[in-house]
Each structure stands twice: as structure tokens, then as C-alpha cells.
Amino acid sequence: MTVARRAGLATTYQSIKDKDFKDALGENWELVLVAGGDGTVAKIARCLVDRDIAHTIPIAILPVGTANNIARSLGIEGEVADLLSGLSNAKTRYLDVGLAKGPWGERNFLEAVGCGSVAEAIAHSGPKPPKPIRIEMGREALRDFLRKAEAEPFEIDVDGEKFAGEFLLIEALNINLSGPSLPLAFSATPDDQLLDIIFVFARDRRKMMKWLEGTPEETPPPATVLRGRKIQFMWDRAYLRIDDRVYMPPKKPSTVEVMLEKERLMILIPS
């Protein structure tokens, strides 16, 4: 971490691929500096929440992944050296942490829980292509699955109010960006203690395809949006994803609950 030392930080390196990285997070650090993409950030977050220390140790994110949805949703972008030098005058912002309960048990998430085309596209993604084209290839794969997807009947409970229909996808988002850097929850904020639930009906397939083929960064998607603190639905035939982990359709219908933890992550935003 030569660049970190140049910025005046005394650092100790730890790879998340090492077996003892969870033990390393248990030390009394002044700062956890996470260099990686969304998967790395989420893995660190789950460990901190499990140890009930997420609110006590500030995190600085160096987004060196592909989509970097989590960092970008917080306004963290730029060269690593610039971000490190900006930590001396950094502001603190909180990032909500989601919790999904189902047949897998319990799993924390930062980005989203979803059923339908996004989950299926992730499930069928092959070896990672070169970085410059990963985002476009991810969006192309999503368009392909959305084009062929069959609408699934869902009844979903949002804070006690039920909504039913046949949907091509349902996404409960904690941040505004998801998957291949798509602003599915266009106006979501990462610290409002609310989930943005996105529904795409079968009747909106063509509009959604057109949105994906254009410049989705500029306008909200043609989807129905609800906001809530807790959702519940019966999971049956669709693929389901929690961030980048995908679960195959269950052998029998299963209840899924999605909510936000009380504990939040403390993120440093470089000046």
C-alpha cells in the first residue's frame, strides 16, 4: 500500500482471500480501508455487522472494481491517490445494511434483493470479460433475459400493504445503482432507512427494453416504485439474488423477508 503511505496512512494489508481475514477485522483499527469492487465491500460489511462493530469503525472505499455501485451511490469516485489524500478532510456518511431471510437462513446485503431477469442474468453470466466492456455486456445480457422472460405471479407485502401482479422482475434496492451499473432506484439514497421496491410488469417490457438500450443514466426506468422498511413475499419459480449471490428456484414455495438492520456502516467520503 505504497500510495496509502504517501497519503500519510500507516496501513496493514489483509487479503479477503485469506482464511484469517475475519479475525483481522476484529482488531481495534482506527479505519478499515477497502480496495475492491462491490463484492469486496459487501463481504467486509457482513463481517463487521456479524461482529456488531459496523458502527464503531469508519470505512473508506477505494473503488477499483467494475461497476462500483456502492461507492458511486455514496459519491465516491476518482483516482485512488486523490481519494486517499482527501481522507484527511473526509466527511462521514452512513450506509444502510439490508437483511434477507429465507430458506438460506439470514444474509446481509448492501445493494439489492431481487427476483426475475436481473437474478437470472447474474446466474448465467460466464467468465468475466475485460473491464472496459463488462458493463455493456452485463446490460446486453439483461436485455436478452428480459426479452425472453415470462412474467411470474407475485403477491408482495410492503409494510403491511399487499400488492399483486405478474412481474418480469422485482428488486428491493438499498442504493440507487444495481447490477451492471443501472440506476434502477433512480432517486434512492443509501442512508434513509428505506428500501426502494421496483416492479416491472409484463406490459412494460418494451418500455424497459428501450430504456436499457438508450442512456439509462439520464432517466428513471419505466417501472412501478414503492418505498418501505420491510417486505415479504412467497418465492416459488423465479431465480432470486442477494447482491451477486444467486439462488435457484426452491423445491417448494418459501417465504422471503427483506428489511434493514438497525446497525449502519460509517463511511468516510473524501473531500
37-82 pLDDT, tens per residue? 999 999 999 988 887 777 788 999 999 999 999 999 999 999 999 9
Q: List C-alpha distances in Å: 22 to 19, 37, 110, 151, 181.
A: 7, 18, 18, 41, 28
Question: pLDDT per position in the chain (271 positions), as tens?
Answer: 556 655 567 778 888 888 888 888 877 888 999 999 999 999 999 988 887 777 788 999 999 999 999 999 999 999 999 999 999 899 999 999 999 999 999 999 999 999 998 998 888 776 666 666 788 888 998 999 899 999 989 999 999 999 999 999 999 999 999 999 999 999 999 999 999 999 999 999 999 999 999 999 999 999 999 999 999 999 998 999 999 999 999 999 999 999 999 989 999 999 8
Cβ neighbours for 27, distance < 8 A, ≥ 6 positions apart: none
Q: CATH 3.40.50.10330 in the chain: give the residue spans.
A: 2-98+264-269
CA angle 188, 56, 14 (to 5 degrees): 95
Q: How far apart are alpha carbons 239 and 20 in whole angstroms? A: 32
Beta pairing, strands 112-116 & 224-228 = unpaired
CATH top class, domain 2-98+264-269 = alpha beta
Cβ neighbours for 119, distance < 8 A, ≥ 6 positions apart: 169, 238, 239, 240, 241, 246
CATH number, domain 99-260: 2.60.200.40
Q: How far apart are alpha carbons 80 and 76 in whole angstroms? A: 10
Q: List C-alpha distances in Å: 194 to 100, 139, 168.
A: 14, 26, 23
Write down the pLDDT at residue 256.
Answer: 97
Burial of 67 (0-12, 13-18, 19+ CB in 10 A): buried
Q: CATH 2.60.200.40 in the chain: give the residue spans.
A: 99-260
Dihedral angle sign, alpha carbons of residues 51, 177, 125, 247: positive
